[in-house]
Homo-oligomer: A and B are copies of this chain.
Amino acid sequence: MAVGYAMTKKDLQDRLRRIEGQVRGLQRMVDEDTYCIDVLTQLSSVVAALKATGMGLLDDHVRHCVRESVEQGDGDAKIEELMAAVARFSGR
């Protein structure tokens, strides 16, 4: 069985590469003594991009791994694990 996000693996990698570039952009901004509020605004965009990527991962996970486990009558552990991940991801 392919992992859940196989179908969008390229999309995931593209997003992560873009995020890596944004983090390097933050380093450049700090190097050049960019005004703190502008750095913070850019940092908030990176957080948003990461969270959107996390939502994509979560979505794929539910559509594939969780669904398959439930179909095989074996969803309990997967659902438990999912909810813990959602809680961590939502920051609580």
Q: Are B89's CB and A91's CB within 8 A?
A: no
Q: Are B24's CB and A55's CB within 8 A?
A: no
Contacts of A37 in B (CB 8 A): 61, 81-82, 85
Contacts of A89 in B (CB 8 A): 40, 43-44, 47, 90
Category for how many chain A residues contact B: 35 or more
Contacts of A13 in B (CB 8 A): 27, 30-31
Of B6, B20, B50, B75, the residue contacting A20 (CB under 8 A) is B20
Contacts of A51 in B (CB 8 A): 47, 90, 92
Per-position binary interface string of chain A over residues 79-90, scored 1 when its CB falls under 8 Å from any chain B CB and 0 otherwise: 101110111111
A18 to B90, CA, bound (A): 22
Task: Known contacts A35-B3, A47-B51, A67-B70; decide if A16 and B23 are in contact (CB<8 Å).
Answer: yes
